[in-house]
Amino acid sequence: MKEYQFQCEFQVRDYECDMQGHVNNAVYLSYLEHSRHEFIKELGLDFAELVKRGISLVVIRAELDYKRALVSGDRFMVGVILEKISPLRYRFIQDIYLLPEKKLVLKARVTGTGVNAKGKPELPGEIVEALERLG
């Protein structure tokens, strides 16, 4: 398992599963998003404050490689790494592992940017500083 900048643990709930008893593929996106939001909060960034200033952090690309399925009751961990990929883009590298075995469930690469009130790409200073600290 990699060295992650942030980790978040979850447990699968019954209603997140499809008719085959596996976590529905779209639910994994929610797990990933929740982990990103928790990580951003830990970095001291405030989504609500950014929105008040007219800045929205948006996903522009998501790549997911499913390796095995989770089922109801499974405990799992999402590991997160944040990296800068250009002056206006950043990428979250996220992996999901079944616990306690630490078996790989999913590998994800989620690319994002910031958009200002005029709809133009813009990364606020707090994001730029966080990327520099982590990079």
The residues carrying an active-site annotation are 18
What is the distance between the alpha carbons of residues 75 and 98, in angstroms, rounded to a whole number?
6
Report the relative pairing of strands 103-115 and 56-66 from DSSP bridges: antiparallel
The answer to whether 107 and 64 have CB atoms below 8 angstroms apart is yes
